[in-house]
Amino acid sequence: MSQEETMDHNNDLFEHYQFKADKGQEPLRVDKFLMNRIENASRNKIQVAAKNGFIFVNEKPVKSNYKIKPGDITKVMFSHPPYENLLIPEEMDLNIIYEDKSLLVINKPPGIVVHPGHGNYDGTLLNGLISHFNNLPNNKDGRPGLVHRIDKDTSGLLVIAKTDFSMTNLAKQFYLKSSTRKYYALVWGSIQNDKGTICENLARDPKNRLIMSVPDDKDFGKNAITHYKVLERFNYVSLVECQLETGRTHQIRAHMKFIGHPIFNDKRYGGDKILKGTIFNKYKQFVQNCFKILPRQALHAKTLGFLHPKSNKEMSFDSELPDDFSECLNKWKNYSNNI
């Protein structure tokens, strides 16, 4: 496709991603630049997009070897609308633990993405929700019913709004931090203090835009506050309860890594390596077996509390740990008791 044909075709393209290079951006190929920013995007996919004329820098199509400079605005565009706007109802078994005319509370299993996005175009919780419920209200991002979200491999509780009034009311409670959210996490290491508060800003990591990290500049990033309490220690790992005061992307995962206790088997934040323990092969095999039992980050949204939008009654919900988390936890308990 020639540049002229590409620009003519631009009228039929839809923007899927846009990124502005930081002032300190060093020269970097656009394909590598985008790989660091788009989840589940392989270099081959990005190069194909560039070959088809779907990558633009400062409104001009570029090849995959174009070097990004500070201030460059990069767009990835395709001939179809973003998949977020193509929600298709899909039959799905939903674990609904509470429902009334205003809202419902769901216990999400691990491995289910909450809403469509790059690499996850169907089979999401939202696809299942719109199959079960008609006319769910849109949130500020145009996603029906969703007041908040949890990561794909995090299990646990979510509240879903069924009316516009509930959406507005619940979103305000989350914004004002009056809702209660407690998570259980199995983390590496024996945490020294029985409880504490992590109050550190979070921002996209400059080296890997798919993760969050605490920036060196304390004035940069968004305020994030996590309260934690140690529930049990098992020599090389600890079970902690984390209560969110803010709800930033990957907040618990990034904060626990920052204090030196990444979540067990959290691949993105380094928890999938043997970080504590002995050098003996039996121990290494034990940890590998735990990884197989729990092939995801050991994080579960256990409790959820808020005021009912209509009655103003205090609502509180609790959920059991899923089987994979529970089995892994029991293995660590037995191992610790036999040391």
Same domain, yes or no, for 101 and 29? no
Domain boundary among 31, 52, 80: 80
Same domain, yes or no, for 281 and 203? yes
Same domain, yes or no, for 35 and 95? no
Amino acid at 26: E
The answer to which of 7-21, 219-233, 278-292 has the lowest mean pLDDT is: 7-21
Instruction: Say what the pLDDT of residue 14 is.
Output: 62
Token pair for 229: 């309490």
What does the alpha-carbon distance between residue 159 and residue 58 come to, in Å, rounded to a whole number?
Answer: 40
* Residue range 95-130, pLDDT digits in tens: 999 999 999 999 999 999 998 766 666 789 999 999
Give the chain's domain count: 3
Token pair for 36: 């660091």
Residue 72: domain span? 3-80
* CATH number for the domain that contains residue 33: 3.10.290.10
Q: Which residue has the higher pLDDT, 194 or 207?
A: 194
DSSP alpha helix (H) spans, the chain: 3-9, 30-35, 43-51, 125-132, 164-175, 251-258, 281-293, 323-337
Decide: 195 and 259 in contact? Cβ < 8 Å: no
Percent of the chain, pLDDT > 90? Answer: 68
Has residue 279 got a pLDDT over 50? yes
Decide: 77 and 37 in contact? Cβ < 8 Å: no
The answer to which of 24-38, 80-94, 95-109 has the lowest mean pLDDT is: 80-94
3-state secondary structure of 120: strand
Rounded mean pLDDT of 23-34? 90
Interior/surface letters 9-48, b for 16+ CB within 10 angstroms, e for the rest: beeebeebbebebeeebeebbbbebbbbbbeebeeebbbe
Active site residues: 151
What does the alpha-carbon distance between residue 203 and residue 243 come to, in Å, rounded to a whole number?
Answer: 20
Q: Computed over its alpha carbons, how large is the radius of gyration of the chain?
A: 22
Rounded mean pLDDT of 142-151? 93
The answer to which of 69-73, 84-88, 251-255, 277-281 has the lowest mean pLDDT is: 84-88
List, in sequence order, every residue forming a beta bridge with 182; answer none if it has no partner. Answer: 243, 303
Range of 56-60, 75-79, 276-280 with top mean pLDDT: 56-60
Same domain, yes or no, for 40 and 96? no
Q: Residue 131: pLDDT band by 50, 70, 90 thresholds? A: very high
Same domain, yes or no, for 235 and 318? yes
Give the DSSP letter string of 41-74: --HHHHHHHHHTT-EEETTEE--TTPEE-TT-EE
Helices (H) and strands (E) in the chain, counts: 8, 17
* Residue range 291-332, pLDDT digits in tens: 999 999 999 999 999 999 999 999 999 999 999 999 999 999
Domain boundary among 158, 175, 192: 175
For residue 64, give the DSSP letter.
Answer: T
Same domain, yes or no, for 190 and 208? yes
Same domain, yes or no, for 280 and 229? yes
Instruction: Say what the pLDDT of residue 86 is.
Output: 62
* CATH number for the domain that contains residue 291: 3.30.2350.10
pTM for the model stands at 0.78
Domain boundary among 26, 60, 80: 80
Has residue 11 got a pLDDT over 50? no
Same domain, yes or no, for 333 and 194? yes
Name the burial class of residue 88, with classes exposed (0-12), middle (13-18) and buried (19+) by CB atoms within 10 angstroms of its CB: exposed
Mean pLDDT (the chain) is 89
Same domain, yes or no, for 91 and 106? yes
Instruction: Say what the pLDDT of residue 191 is.
Output: 95
Same domain, yes or no, for 158 and 212? no
For residue 24, give the DSSP letter.
Answer: T
Instruction: Say what the pLDDT of residue 128 is.
Output: 95
- Smallest CA-to-CA distance from 191 within 287, 261, 258, 269 is with 261
Rounded mean pLDDT of 153-165? 98
Rounded mean pLDDT of 52-72? 90
Q: Residue 50: pLDDT band by 50, 70, 90 thresholds? A: confident
* Residue range 71-83, pLDDT digits in tens: 999 988 766 556 5
Q: Which residue has the higher pLDDT, 312 or 60?
A: 312
What does the alpha-carbon distance between residue 6 and residue 51 come to, in Å, rounded to a whole number?
Answer: 10
Rounded mean pLDDT of 26-52? 84
Same domain, yes or no, for 147 and 46? no
Same domain, yes or no, for 75 and 97? no
